[in-house]
Chain A
């Protein structure tokens, strides 16, 4: 409808932004995975792509802000929508920071921790998939409030699983007598970088749940 032209443009931009963010997180996941598998060359190539995608997502986020404040949606909602986009943006940011950490600091990964770290990487980065469903539900006309909240809740559940695995892995790292304290701390830092993605995704899902409820009340 022509009267909602600006709103529709915001929704289109938000979908493009979400796609760029998803690609960024997925590419960063692959980069970390390749690093943990020892394929440093592929990881470095993917890292460059992550930076590009993150920058593309940033440009789209700024365009959404411009479009929103040029008069799309009610002023009461503009701030909420932009805050939501900013909170989503912390997920690709965290993904980029994670892959940059691995490529920049190149932490040594002992063989016994490779598989658990790969597993937690898949879990933590994988939370983005559920978050995307919730966000698409918010921006697409067919998405119902209850469905959005259900996906947002699912993000929280997955994040709790990641937290539990993180705790077990932390105990395993610091309980490993074959490693020096420096190596343990570096491994823990790598672990923190990985789980940071699911933490940010959970924050974003909570913000989304609130905006969705606020919008229909």
Chain B
């Protein structure tokens, strides 16, 4: 594959989004085991990197396809299968190659990436998955305007519904798993149980990393699938690699923060939260739905908290999830739409 400058820029943009995800979501994967000092940050980040790449390579294609080709209708065949009439005349003007234009891919990626970076620096919890879905929908608006016919509304509604279902599912799972762990632990020796827990926490961290790779590789480089439709495997490796680099280079601070705030839950609680969130995210990855790992983890933490009563649940955390559902995709969509329009008018 000969790479043009435009292709290199797009790959760099995809790498940037992947790096962002890795840096932000390292905490969800390895925060607990680093916080509990089960293994060092370096080893944990290495483990995370390996499993993110495996998850992305083996199962990243489901979400990649949804983000890359499922939200916007960019080919005539796709349009005809969705709507009775043939595509309008301007369809070819919008999507001359039957895919997202390079500038649109670039804007969608950079908008989501910059938005998440900005949110990270201002400590606003946002989801990269939601930002990238917003970013892609935003450039779509920038290209075609508010014309619902160019959007696969069934997929968009499915994605929106899953954003609500994902944390709720993790919450319910974590609630059940934590109860189950409590029942087993009472029948076991405390020291043996703590050894089992430490091994299980490492396993859960690997599973979250795998699920993160399976779900978020699609977010990081899904739009690139428009440019390189034949190289899904290589793109998945690129996305997984970018996320691993992100975890190594910028994941420590967030990991320390989350590790110290989650571990007071206790190891069993952290295990229930991570395992449940990983299962939820993995499930949606298999369905090709981009969901937020952070929100799944927060939902699961709430589930663990609920086992100790309603008063143990922070209203702030629930508000942050609910806020994220609206804020992240809306802001990213607005940002990418305006940026695309601005760039088009300039060049």
Contact = CB atoms under 8 A, between A and B. Distances in A.
Contacts of A189: none
A73 B36 contact: no
A74 B189 contact: no
A145 B38 contact: no
A141 B266 CA distance: 21
Contacts of B38: 74
Interface string A134-156: 00011111111110100000000
A75 interface: yes
B188 interface: yes
B191 interface: yes
A172 B347 CA distance: 104
A211 interface: yes
A75 B185 contact: no
Contact of B267 (A11, A74, A142): A74
A140 B193 CA distance: 12
Contact of A145 (B185, B263, B266, B269): B185
Interface core residue of B185, B188, B191 (most chain A CB under 10 Å): B191
A141 B189 contact: yes
Interface in B256-282: 263, 266-269
B85 interface: no
B190 interface: yes
Interface in A20-67: none
A7 interface: yes
Assign chain B's interface to a size class.
20 to 34
Given A74-B38, A74-B198, A145-B185, A215 B193 contact: yes
B267 A76 contact: yes
Q: Tell me what chain A mostly uses at the interface: helix, strand, loop, or mixed.
A: helix
Given A74-B267, A76-B37, A76-B263, A146 B186 contact: yes
Nearest to B187: A144
Interface of B: 36-38, 182, 185-195, 198, 263, 266-269
Nearest to B35: A76
Interface in A137-195: 137-146, 148
Contacts of A138: 189-191
Contact of B193 (A7, A142, A146, A216): A216
Interface of A: 4, 7, 11, 73-77, 137-146, 148, 211-212, 214-217
B268 A74 contact: no
Nearest to A147: B189
A77 B266 CA distance: 11
Contacts of A215: 190-191, 193-194
Interface core residue of A73, A74, A137, A211 (most chain B CB under 10 Å): A74
14 contacts: A4-B195, A73-B194, A74-B38, A74-B194, A75-B36, A138-B190, A140-B189, A144-B188, A145-B185, A145-B186, A145-B188, A146-B187, A215-B194, A217-B269
Contacts of A7: 191, 195
A4 to B, nearest CB: 6
A77 B269 CA distance: 16
A76 B195 CA distance: 12
Given A215-B194, A217-B268, A74 B188 contact: no
A75 B189 CA distance: 18
A146 B269 CA distance: 20
Contacts of B195: 4, 7, 73
A216 B186 contact: yes
Contacts of B185: 145, 216-217
Contacts of A216: 182, 185-186, 188, 190, 193, 268
Contacts of A139: 191
B17 to A, nearest CB: 35
A75 B34 CA distance: 11
Contacts of B36: 74-76
A71 to B, nearest CB: 10
A75 B37 CA distance: 6
Nearest to B263: A76
A206 to B, nearest CB: 15
A216 to B, nearest CB: 4
Nearest to B184: A216
Contacts of A214: 266
A145 B190 contact: yes
A211 B191 CA distance: 10
A74 B271 CA distance: 15
Contacts of A211: 190
A7 B195 CA distance: 9
Nearest to A81: B191
A212 B193 CA distance: 10
A140 B185 CA distance: 15
B314 to A, nearest CB: 19
A144 B191 contact: no
Nearest to B182: A217
Contacts of A76: 36-37, 263, 267
Interface core residue of A73, A77, A217 (most chain B CB under 10 Å): A217
A148 B37 contact: no
B236 to A, nearest CB: 33
